[in-house]
């Protein structure tokens, strides 16, 4: 019997290139995660030590966030990759259509995309990229409403700051 040499090539997915870094901003430390040149997460309530990003993409994110805090009218131009359901992604796209210095109620956005106000709140609560996907521009019919799943505390202070910064809330 003749021997046959077989060469096996392992087909593996390349590991995603990811980078985590923490920057200081007027609203506190932001922990940022990027994967394959796309922003996937911003944690507004980070307690991690400040650590600059090193890749060109990380530096560009840092630059754009700094520009936003210098001038609220700055338009972000960052590649995003938010892993959510089809519904969540639809809400997050609608959030990006709310103009600077304006707010919408949960109910108004729900009517606009043919949904329910509570479902809008759930999608906002699960928004992995607040600031860039501006869920802070959604308010309740009776006041400020929540932010990232909280009704008071530091995250509500951040929501107020962002709305004042953008000219949507007068103190």
- CATH number of residue 152's parent domain: 1.10.10.10
- Active-site annotation holds for 135: yes
Q: Helices 86-95 and 117-125 meet at what angle, rounded to 10?
A: 90
Domain check: are 92 and 161 in the same one? yes
- What residues have CB less than 8 Å from 164, skipping those under 6 apart? 170, 171
The residues pairing with 29 across neighbouring beta strands, listed in sequence order, are 24
Q: Is the pLDDT of residue 75 over 90?
A: yes
The model's confidence at residue 149, banded by pLDDT at 50, 70 and 90, is confident
102 and 157 fall within a common domain: yes
pLDDT, residue 68, reads 97
For residue 6, is pLDDT > 90? no
Q: Which of 42, 70, 98 is the last residue of a domain?
A: 70
154 and 90 share one domain: yes
Same domain, 90 and 161: yes
Residues 90 and 60 in one domain: no
Is 9 contained in some domain?
no
pLDDT band at 3 (very low <50, low <70, confident <90, very high): low
Q: Which of 91, 108, 93, 168 is nearest to 137 (CA)?
A: 168
In-domain check, residue 2: no
Statement to judge: residues 115 and 143 lie in one domain: yes
Shortest CA distance to 25 belongs to which of 73, 66, 71?
66
Task: Quote the number of domains for the chain.
Answer: 2
Res. 12: pLDDT tops 90: no
Model confidence at 11, in pLDDT bands (50, 70, 90)? low
**What six digits make up the tokens of 136?**
């802070």
Mean pLDDT of 117-143: 94
**In a domain? residue 154:** yes
Pull the structure tokens for residue 82.
């938010």
Q: Is the pLDDT of residue 9 over 60?
A: no
What's the Rg (C-alpha) of the chain? 20
- The mean pLDDT of 59-73, rounded to a whole number, is 97
158 and 98 fall within a common domain = yes
* Same domain, residue pair 104 and 158: yes
Mean pLDDT of the chain: 89
Domain of residue 49, residue span:
18-70
Residues 98, 132 contacting (CB under 8 angstroms)? no
Q: Is the pLDDT of residue 102 over 60?
A: yes
CA 107/CA 17 separation, integer angstroms = 39
Task: Name every residue whose Cβ is closer than 8 Å to that of residue 100 and which is 6 or more positions away in sequence.
Answer: 72, 73, 166, 167, 168
Q: Note whether 102 and 39 are same-domain residues.
A: no
Tell me, what's the pLDDT at 129? 95
**How many Å apart are CA 62 and CA 57, to the nearest integer?**
9
Say whether both 120 and 158 belong to one domain: yes
Asked whether residue 81 is assigned to any structural domain, the reply reads: no
One domain, residues 65 and 92? no
* pLDDT, greater one: 10 or 118: 118
Question: Taking residues 4-9, what's their average pLDDT?
Answer: 52
Question: What was the pLDDT predicted at 1?
Answer: 53
Kind plus residue range of the DSSP H or E element containing 51 = none
| Tokens found for residue 124 | 């906002």
Per annotation, catalytic residue among 65, 135, 158, 162? 135
């Amino acid at each position: 019997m003749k021997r046959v040499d077989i060469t096996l090539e392992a087909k593996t997915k390349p590991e995603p290139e990811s980078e985590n870094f923490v920057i200081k901003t007027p609203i506190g430390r932001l922990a940022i995660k990027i994967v394959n040149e796309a922003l996937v997460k911003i944690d507004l309530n980070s307690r991690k030590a400040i650590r600059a990003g090193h890749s060109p993409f990380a530096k560009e994110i840092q630059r754009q966030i700094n520009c936003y805090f210098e001038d609220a009218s700055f338009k972000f131009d960052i590649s995003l990759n938010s892993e959510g359901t089809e519904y969540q992604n639809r809400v997050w796209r609608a959030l990006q259509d709310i103009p600077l210095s304006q707010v919408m109620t949960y109910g108004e956005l729900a009517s606009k995309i043919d949904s329910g106000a509570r479902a809008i709140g759930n999608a906002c609560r699960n928004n992995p990229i607040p600031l860039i996907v501006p869920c802070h521009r959604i308010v309740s019919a009776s006041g400020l409403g929540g932010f990232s799943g909280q009704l008071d505390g530091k995250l509500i202070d951040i929501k107020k700051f962002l709305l004042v910064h953008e000219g949507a809330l007068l103190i």
